[in-house]
Structure formats: C-alpha cells, structure tokens
Amino acid sequence: MTEEIIIAGFGGQGVLSMGKILAYAGLMEGKEVTWMPAYGPEQRGGTANVTVIVSDDPVSSPILSSYDTAIVLNQPSLEKFEPKVKPGGTLIYDGYGIPEPPTRKDIDVYRIDAMDAAAEMNLIKTFNMIVLGGLLKIHPVVGIESVLAALRKTLPERHHHLIPKNEEAIRKGMEIIKKL
Amino acid sequence: MADQEITLMKGNEAIAHAAIRCGCDGYFGYPITPQSEVLETLAEQKPWETTGMVVLQAESEVSSINMVYGGASTGKKVMTSSSSPGVSLMQEGISYMAGAELPALIVNVMRGGPGLGTIQPSQSDYFQACKGGGHGDYHLIVLAPASVQEMADFVDLAFTLAFRYRNPAMILADGAIGQMMEKVVLPPFKPRRTEEEIIKECPWATTGRIGGRKPNIITSLELRSEEMEIINLRIQAKYREIEEKEVRYEEFMLDDAEYAIVAFGSAARIAKKSIEIARAQGIKVGLLRPITLWPFPTKEVQALASRVKGILSLEINAGQMVEDIRLAVEGAVPVRHFGRLGGIIPDPDEVVDVLKRSF
C-alpha cells in the first residue's frame, strides 16, 4: 500500500502541521513516510502545500507528478491540484474557501465544511484536524489512535490538554464529510 | 532520546543531531535558507551542556569558515553549514584548508543561483563542490545524500574520511533533502575525543608542545616554488589514493537495463520514481547514483556505457555532472542531460517524457 497525498491551502490553515501529524502517525505504525513541504517565503495568507507519502515500501520520490488524494482548502489550490489527481483518485475540498467546486468526473470528490464546523464548535484552530478526520473516514491511511499518539509526541507538553479537543475535531470531520 | 529510536525529522535537523552524536567538537555557522534548521536545532539541543560541543553563530560565513580553520588546526572535529551564496563566501577559507590539509566538514544545502538566486532546491553547485570551488589545485571529498537517513549517516562518514586523508569534506545536499521529513534512525552516541586521543590521532595538529616536540605549523603558504611543487605533488598523490579507495555509489534496477539514468541526491529519488513509471510502460531503465561526487565513480560509469544504449544525466541544474559522465563514457554511447533551473524540481513524469525523447 502506498498513499500519495497533497494537502494544499493558505498559510495559517495548518496544512503543514496536518501533514506532519499524518506522517508521524504513519511512522508510529511502522510505515515508510515522507513529508515534503513546498517551503518558501511562505506566510499567513500565502499559499502552502505539503506532499505526504505513507507506504509499506521505501518511498522513491518525495516530489510527484500526480496524487492518489488531494486535499484542497482554497480556490488556487483546487485549480492547481484538481488536474493532478490520478484517475480514480480522491479529491477532498472545503466548501468555505472554494466558491467554484471541482468538475472532474473520473475521481471521487468529497466535500467537507470544516471551516463552518470549526466556527460552530468554537474551535477554529482545530480546523485542520477536522479535515484530517474527513480524510481518515474515507481513507484510513492511519488509525485514529496513531494520530492521537502522534499529537502527544509532537505537541509540547503545555498543549497536551488540547488533545481531547483535537480528537473531538477529528471525530467531527469523520461525521461531516460527504461524497458528491 | 534512546540511541536507536526511529524518529521523524527534516534532513537539516538530522545533520545537527548526527553532529552531536558523532562527537563533533564545534559548529560555526551563519543562518541562511534552506539550511537554517541545522543551527536552530543545535541551539535547541544545547550540546555545550551535554557533550561540551561548541555551537557558535558567527557574524558571517567568512568568519564561520575561518573559525573552522582554527578549530581544525588543533585537531578538533569541527564543521559549518550553509547554502549556496554562503558557501561561495567561504571559498577562500576552504581553499586555505585544502592547502593546509585540514580535516573539517562543510555542509552545503544548495539553493538556486546564480547570485542570491532563490531559496528553492537546486543542484547547481556541483562544479563548485567537485572542481575546487576556490583557487588552486584541490578537491574536497564530496558526499551527496539522497535521504534524511543519509543526511544523518554521512556526518560521521564525512568526518572519518576528512581525518583519514587530512582533507576537508563536504556534504552536498539540496533544499529538498534539507527541508523534507523522513524516518530516521539516529547514529549512536560517540564521546568527543579526549585531548590525549587528539594528540595521538593528529600528530600534525597545534596541540601544544607537550614533551618538547618540534613545533607544528599549519599553513598553506610556501614561498619557495620548489617546495610548493613538492607539497602540491604530495596532495595530488593523496587525491589519487582517494579516487582509488573511496568511490561510493548505488545501483538500482540496472541488471537488465537498456538505458541508465545517472543522478545524485534528490534527483536520484525522482529518477527512481521515473524508473518505476517507465518500466510499467516497458522501458528498461535503471539508475546509477553517485554517492561520492568527488571522487566520481568514473570506472563504474565507464562500465555502464558498455551495458546500456544511452545515459541520461538527471540533475537539478543546467548540466554539470554530465561533463564527468561524458569524460568517463568517452563517446561510447549517447549521453543526454535533463534538468530544471532556478529552484524548479523536475517531476517524475517529465523525466519519463525526456527519456522517451532522448534515445
């Protein structure tokens, strides 16, 4: 099994950290993982994306031409990465940042209104965990227990009291993702 | 952290952890994207409180490399890291170290040039790293890691080779390897050498005239041409020995290959994916990945030319290593180059298209 994922959105949405949690969870399950950010003069409001590969085998290229799954969280990212989903692959998008939805018919398209849900729950900072929950519902690349363990491992101790909130967010994401 | 713990980290972070663990005595550097995490991680780890390793942010790259010169003169295991424009600033000091035959480690996490260029990954410092870089007839031992694991492993290897041959060594990585996170098993802790061990291992070093030995002089200056030629010849003889003994490379799917890609570092990772794709389309292609860029695996590339119909040099530059491949192949088979410039990384599909068009 190899899952090649691109996560793309605005800087500040937690795109890179969501990818990191996913990669870390894969590592904890003994899988091969690569996390490759499009680093640069990134800033809040600029574009940010990260390629995460989780595999049973050694990962060849961290840089890819196409992806099994694209998670896009704003319009420019949708325009950039919708054409790069492999036929039969998956595209997940957040309705809030994307007024013009995806149009491809040869891929599975899912919508997750994570921004709205985060606002409703008054947990705006867990937006990325809601999205991650959505991904895990449709592609259980890693188990939720591994994600929670990854959070314990990567979050500084002083933030550990927020882990239940993150779990709540992940479960919310699993609930609200819907196939189009 | 346990010695054998598997962890997830960036290539730059792996360099820093590996430096502490291999018993490095001192790091002198100046921040620059995309390698700043080396210095940042060292500052976070505070090795001066544990192993006693010195970590110092100098006022410039020129200053860093001269601190490395000073530290290396005393037989200490010292290093610096930077990215392309910063490494250009260091060239005078590197040439002096090669001339004074000082062991040290220089890490270059390359970004696109020329000039200040971009902060995105590139491999356009191949010439600078492998062909001298500074003035005079000299070589660095150049290692090209292709994974975060190799970033960690090559620190100790680079120091070992540097001390074995009394020659500066370079880890030539790029922004992609520096910035990406992968699984890594950090090397076990080795203690820093004691003063006695340093005196024993480095009888040439300026360790103080204990026991009334003759003074050791570390210099690259010799105004008598006859003497200078002798020094040069000795250094050249050392280079021939390194070429003989220290070539390292990896072969991937070459057994039945009709075509070969030669690529190093992150380009080699892209090449592997391209090979998977090309083979699924019936194109028999394999990879030869030089791990030492200097000494270059000349004989191995030459041997490759008798087995394949064509060679593609995949580099993230305008064509630098391709010259060494052509020198090795001597026209036996067509040698093509493909690369992207200015911080753009070629993608695997693009490389497959080039393969199809090239031969």
CB contacts, 8 Å: A37 with chain B: 179-180
> Are A61 and B34 a contacting pair at CB < 8 A?
no
> Are A41 and B276 a contacting pair at CB < 8 A?
no
Domains held by chain A: number? 1
Least confident of A30-44, B99-113, B281-295: A30-44
CB-CB contact of B79 with B52 (8 Å): no
Q: Which residues on adjacent β-strands are paired with residue B10?
A: B181
Question: Would you say residue B1 has pLDDT above 50?
Answer: no
Q: What domains lie within chain B, and their CATH numbers? A: 6-195 (3.40.50.970), 249-358 (3.40.50.920)
Task: Indicate the residue type of B126.
Answer: Y
Residue of A43, A65, A153 to mutate, interface with B, max B Cβ within 10 Å: A65
Distance of CA A15 to the CA centre of its chain: 7
> Are A61 and B120 a contacting pair at CB < 8 A?
no
Average pLDDT value for chain B: 96
Using a CB–CB cutoff of 8 Å, tell me whether B348 touches chain A: yes
The residue range of the domain holding A30 is 2-179
Which residue of A lies nearest to B175 if distances are taken between CA atoms? A39
3-state secondary structure of A44: coil
Burial of A74 per CB tally in 10 Å (0-12, 13-18, 19+): buried
A124-159 pLDDT, tens digit each: 999 999 999 999 999 999 999 999 999 999 889 999
> Are A39 and B34 a contacting pair at CB < 8 A?
yes
CA nearest A26: which of A50, A56, A5? A56
CB contacts, 8 Å: A65 with chain B: 347-350
Question: Which token pair is A34?
Answer: 């690569």
Question: Would you say residue B16 has pLDDT above 90?
Answer: yes
By DSSP bridging, strand B168-174 and strand B141-143 are parallel
Instruction: Report the pLDDT value the prediction gives residue A42, as an integer from 0 to 100.
Output: 61
Task: Indicate the residue type of B87.
Answer: V
Cα distance between residue B32 and residue B85, in whole Å: 9
Smallest CA–CA distance, residue B233 to chain A, in Å, is 43
φ/ψ (deg, to 5) at A179: -80, 140
Average pLDDT value for chain A: 94
Using a CB–CB cutoff of 8 Å, tell me whether B176 touches chain A: yes
Q: Whole-angstrom distance between the N-terminal and C-terminal Cα of chain B?
A: 51
Instruction: Write down the residue that tokens 């200097």 correspond to.
Output: B294
A167 membership: H or E segment, kind and range: helix A163-176
CB contacts, 8 Å: A33 with chain B: 8, 181-183
B332-350 pLDDT, tens digit each: 999 999 999 999 999 999 9
Question: Would you say residue A21 has pLDDT above 60?
Answer: yes
Which residue of A lies nearest to B266 if distances are taken between CA atoms? A61
> Are A35 and B272 a contacting pair at CB < 8 A?
no
B215-261 pLDDT, tens digit each: 999 999 999 999 999 999 999 999 999 999 999 999 999 999 999 99
Q: What is the DSSP string of A96-115?
A: GG-SS----SSSEEEE--HH
Residue B2's pLDDT band, with cuts at 50, 70 and 90, is: very low
Question: Would you say residue B150 has pLDDT above 70?
Answer: yes
Which residue of A lies nearest to B178 if distances are taken between CA atoms? A36
CB-CB contact of A178 with A138 (8 Å): no
CB contacts, 8 Å: A56 with chain B: none
> Are A23 and B273 a contacting pair at CB < 8 A?
no
> Are A36 and B176 a contacting pair at CB < 8 A?
yes
Which residue of A lies nearest to B149 if distances are taken between CA atoms? A34
By DSSP bridging, strand A32-37 and strand A47-55 are antiparallel
> Are A34 and B180 a contacting pair at CB < 8 A?
yes
Q: Give the CA radius of gyration of chain B.
A: 21
> Are A60 and B175 a contacting pair at CB < 8 A?
no
A22 membership: H or E segment, kind and range: helix A15-28
More confident residue, A44 or B21: B21
Show Cβ contacts of residue B17 under 8 Å, excluding neighbours closer than 6 positions. Answer: B9, B41, B45, B152, B186
Task: Indicate the residue type of B109.
Answer: V
Please report which residue ranges of chain B form alpha helices under DSSP H. 11-21, 36-45, 61-73, 84-89, 91-99, 126-130, 148-165, 175-179, 195-201, 225-245, 265-280, 298-305, 321-329, 348-358
Question: Would you say residue B3 has pLDDT above 90?
Answer: no
Q: What is the mean pLDDT of residues A48-72?
A: 96
Smallest CA–CA distance, residue B75 to chain A, in Å, is 38
Smallest CA–CA distance, residue B9 to chain A, in Å, is 9
Question: Which token pair is A19?
Answer: 């990818």
CB contacts, 8 Å: B6 with chain A: 27
CATH number at residue A96: 3.40.920.10
Using a CB–CB cutoff of 8 Å, tell me whether B83 touches chain A: no
In terms of residues, how long is chain A? 180
> Are A40 and B348 a contacting pair at CB < 8 A?
no
Cα distance between residue A64 and residue A5, in whole Å: 10
Burial of B191 per CB tally in 10 Å (0-12, 13-18, 19+): exposed
Q: What is the mean pLDDT of residues B271-290?
A: 98
How many C-beta atoms lie closer than 10 Å to residue B248's C-beta? 16
B187-227 pLDDT, tens digit each: 999 999 999 999 999 999 999 987 888 999 999 999 999 99
B52-85 pLDDT, tens digit each: 999 999 999 999 999 999 999 999 999 999 999 9
CA nearest B107: which of B155, B64, B72? B155
CB contacts, 8 Å: B8 with chain A: 20, 23-24, 27, 33, 35
CB contacts, 8 Å: B175 with chain A: 39
φ/ψ (deg, to 5) at A155: -80, 140
Question: Which token pair is B309?
Answer: 């119909």
> Are B350 and A24 a contacting pair at CB < 8 A?
no
CA nearest B64: which of B37, B23, B31? B31
Residue of A34, A55, A61, A152 to mutate, interface with B, max B Cβ within 10 Å: A61
Q: What is the mean pLDDT of residues A170-179?
A: 97
By DSSP bridging, strand A67-72 and strand A47-55 are unpaired
CB-CB contact of A88 with A106 (8 Å): yes
Question: Would you say residue B270 has pLDDT above 70?
Answer: yes
Q: What is this model's ipTM? A: 0.93
Q: CA quadruple B341, B344, B346, B350: dihedral positive or negative?
A: negative
CB-CB contact of B124 with B316 (8 Å): yes
φ/ψ (deg, to 5) at B182: -145, 170
User: How many residue pairs bridge chain A and chain B with CB atoms within 8 Å of each other?
Assistant: 69
Question: Which token pair is B319?
Answer: 């064509």
Which residue of A lies nearest to B181 if distances are taken between CA atoms? A35
Residues from A in contact with B at Cβ < 8 Å: 20, 23-24, 27, 32-37, 39-41, 59-66
Question: Which token pair is A167?
Answer: 């779990």
Cα distance between residue A129 and residue A126, in whole Å: 5
Question: Would you say residue B145 has pLDDT above 60?
Answer: yes
B99-141 pLDDT, tens digit each: 999 999 999 999 999 999 999 999 999 999 999 999 999 999 9
A110-148 as b/e: b if 16+ CB within 10 A: bbbbbbebbeeeebeebbbbbbbbbbbbbbebbebebbb
A5-18 pLDDT, tens digit each: 999 998 888 999 99
CB-CB contact of B124 with B132 (8 Å): no
Instruction: Report the pLDDT value the prediction gives residue A90, as an integer from 0 to 100.
Output: 98
A116 membership: H or E segment, kind and range: helix A114-120
Show Cβ contacts of residue B189 under 8 Å, excluding neighbours closer than 6 positions. Answer: B3, B21
Cα distance between residue A114 and residue A130, in whole Å: 6
CB-CB contact of A46 with B186 (8 Å): no
Smallest CA–CA distance, residue B7 to chain A, in Å, is 8
CB contacts, 8 Å: A32 with chain B: 183
What percent of chain B clears pLDDT 90, i.e. is strictly above it?
96
